[in-house]
Amino acid sequence: MQLLQDCLIILLAAWMCIDQNGLVVVSYFPVIVGFITGLIMGDITTAMYIAGTFELMQLGVANLGGSSMPNYGLATIIGAFLAIRTGTGVKTGIAVGLPVGMLAIQLDVLIKIINQFIQRRMERLNHEHNWKAMLRQPWYGVGLFGLETGIPTVILVFLGPTAVKEILKWLPAWFTNGLTIAGGLLPVVGVAMLLHYMPTKKFFTFLVIGFVLTAYLKVPILGLALIGFACAYYYFNSEMKKADEKQEVKAAGATNDQGDDYDE
């Protein structure tokens, strides 16, 4: 039974990375992988608690433009697995999951460098007209990305539980308490990142509106998203109208338009 659980957890971890790069059904979203981990381990409540903590940390930490970021999904799988298997609870999950999720970034960078060979080989095989082999090359990438999360999970699944129990005996209370505090602080990274790559200066108004509605008026997040949508809708319509007017002026000024940028 335990061995079956171990294998399923490893498969889930390996699939998560492949899925994150392509299908995005399970992806690295902590709550979803956490739910599946809970199903496998037979304790959904503990798994969800750990998953929720990591989910809130991850908000806004998006992997844009192929950048590498802490793998909170891996943190969730390993954290929830160890917490349930060792019966040591949520704090263990966070204490072990977080560093593993951060180390996984290094592997991510490494694999993206190794993957260079796929490009080289595809170019060569294309030139040789060996297309069957050429179209096999991307699958090496699939395998490598599976290893990115698979390998750390194999190590932790088989060595983790005993090691974690030993380590926990030595950990002082301030340390585990510090992790809880860190859990409250870390979401700030995602939030600040969002502020960085969105036009914050231009639309500062809406940032303040969102803050005030939540901090002072305690509007739930879905209601808040609707208010945000209303503002966005209004802006979209008025800007589109302006764009239409501009185009009409242009069309009236000069009759020759340049619509298609490639000729028949």
Partner 1 sequence: MMSEKENKTVITKHDLRKMGVRWCFMGVNAFNYETQEGPGYTYAVAPALRKIYPNDDDYEHALANHLNYFNTTTAMANILMGATTAMEEKEGVKSLDAVQALKTSLMGPLAGIGDTLIWVLWPTIIGSISGYMAVKGNPLGAIIWFLCNIAFFFGKVWLTSLGYFSGTKLITSLGERISIFTESASIMGLTVVGALVASVVKVTTPITFKFGAVTMGLQTGILDKIMPALLPVLLTWVVYKLIGNKKWTMNRIILLLIVLAMVCSFFNILK
Q: Which of residues 98-137 bind partner 1 (CB under 8 A)?
A: 98, 102, 105, 112-113, 115-116, 118-119, 122-123, 126-127, 129, 131, 134-135, 137
The least CB distance from residue 69 to partner 1, in Å, is: 7
CB nearer to partner 1: pick between 172 and 253 = 172
Q: What angle do CA 32, 36, 42 make, to 5 degrees?
A: 140
58 forms part of the interface with partner 1 (CB under 8 A): yes
Contact flags string 156-185 toward partner 1, x per CB under 8 A: ------------------xx-xxx-xx-xx
CB nearer to partner 1: pick between 9 and 104 = 104
Query: Which span (1-9, 151-159, 163-171, 195-203) binds partner 1, by CB under 8 A?
Result: 195-203
Selection from 20, 12, 178 nearest residue 94 by Cα:
178
Residue 216 CA from chain centroid, whole number: 30
Residue 108 CA from chain centroid, whole number: 13
Query: Which span (1-9, 38-46, 157-165, 248-256) binds partner 1, by CB under 8 A?
Result: 38-46
Q: Per residue in 100-123, is it b (16+ CB within 10 Å) or e — as a string? A: bbeebeebbeebeeeeeebeeebe
Please, which residues have CB within 8 angstroms of residue 11's CB and are 6 or more apart in sequence?
none
Residue from the set 45, 169, 253, 254 that interacts with partner 1 by CB under 8 A:
45
CB nearer to partner 1: pick between 45 and 255 = 45
Selection from 13, 30, 7 nearest residue 147 by Cα:
13
12 forms part of the interface with partner 1 (CB under 8 A): no
> How many residues form the binding site for partner 1 (CB under 8 A)?
115
Alpha-carbon gap, residue 117 to 123, rounded angstroms: 10
